[in-house]
Amino acid sequence: MSVLVLDSGVGGLTVLREVRAVMPTEQIVYVGDDGGFPYGQWPEDALVERLVGLFTHYLNKHDIKLAIVACNTASTLIMPSLRSAFDVPFVGTVPAIKPAAERTDSGMISVLATPGTINRRYTQSLIDEHANDIDVNLVASTQLAKLAEHYMQHREIDSDALWQEIKPCFIDWAGKRTDIVVLGCTHYPFLVNEMRKLAPWPVDWIDPSEAIALRALSVMEQTYPPNGQVSTESPPTDLAYLTSDAANPAAQRLLQGFGLTLRPHGQVALRSIS
Ligand code: DGL
């Protein structure tokens, strides 16, 4: 049995590397839906349809014991639909607003995410529940996930474009400044060192990848309680699928660099954006 990790592109690799650290003996199947990238501006009903189609395909294809939606744009929308449609346990990724609200000294935090995540009712409910006594500045970025994809695949960054995307996160008002930026998209941790260089003052950048991996481990242990025996067998090779298939050689090389063996996604009827 394997652990499925899914994102719209290579962003979910930030979660995959932490999952590997906490579940070293599990085989991982990574699905990068680069054929649907970016998810940030999809209409909600079309995105739900595409994701249910993708999970239906991959849960039938592999024997999956746990599925991780390594994407905020998807998780803030689709977790109830997935849990009612499929029997496997699901773990989602949502903006780390609660830990940011607990940690802030200035009482001013920014949440940097895709327009989809920023506009979701779920994100607003996180603020109402955990951060109603602090200032939460929501910053919707249309370009950052694309900049991260490009950076990871080609090792190039347009610093001016990056600055334009992160600039609204920094608020200096009435003697107080933003002190935490929540990275509300799994692509963004790949850019955090570049973001640090551009920041006008130091802030805490919250990357939730490790917390997601630990949550996944806890759900795994509840669902399949450990029997006390340590397996000496090495797990089968980790696999990856890109829904664009051959259309994206740089992404393919990147996945191989993460130790994933690429398999063809093939012809699968999926909802498209138009
Ligand atoms: N990595 C995704 C997220 O966490 C989304 C990027 C996109 O497809 O726009 O939100």
The structural domains of the chain, ordered by start, are 2-93+210-263 (3.40.50.1860), 97-207 (3.40.50.1860)
In single-letter form, the type of residue at position 55 comes to: F
Mutational test site, ligand 1, from 71, 93, 138, 243, max ligand atoms within 8 Å of CB: 71
Atom of ligand 1 nearest to the CA of 39: 8
What pTM, to 2 d.p., does this model score? 0.95
Q: What is the pLDDT of residue 231?
A: 72
Is residue 103 within 8 Å of residue 39, measured between CB atoms? no
92 ligand 1 Cβ < 6 A: no
Give the position of tokens 């000294």.
Answer: 105
Give the position of tokens 């992160």.
Answer: 166
Q: What is the pLDDT of residue 20?
A: 96
Report residue 101: phi and psi, to 5°.
-65, -35
**Segment 89-146, tens digit of pLDDT:** 999 999 999 999 999 999 999 999 999 999 999 999 999 999 999 999 999 999 999 9
Q: What is the pLDDT of residue 251?
A: 87
Can you tell me whether residue 189 is helix, strand or coil? helix
**Cα of 169 from ligand 1 centre, angstroms:** 18
Mutational test site, ligand 1, from 73, 143, 182, 212, max ligand atoms within 8 Å of CB: 73
Is 71 among the residues known to form the active site? yes
Q: What is the pLDDT of residue 89?
A: 98
Give the CA distances from residue 206 to residues 95, 120, 162, 212, in Å, rounded to whole numbers and listed in that order: 9, 20, 18, 12
**Nearest-angstrom CA–CA distance, 67 and 218:** 13
Give the position of tokens 């049995």.
Answer: 1
Mean pLDDT by 10 residues, the chain (274 residues): 96 97 95 95 95 97 97 97 96 97 98 97 98 98 96 95 98 97 98 98 97 97 85 84 88 92 92 84
The residues that bridge with 108 in the sheet, in sequence order, are 135
Q: What is the pLDDT of residue 238?
A: 97
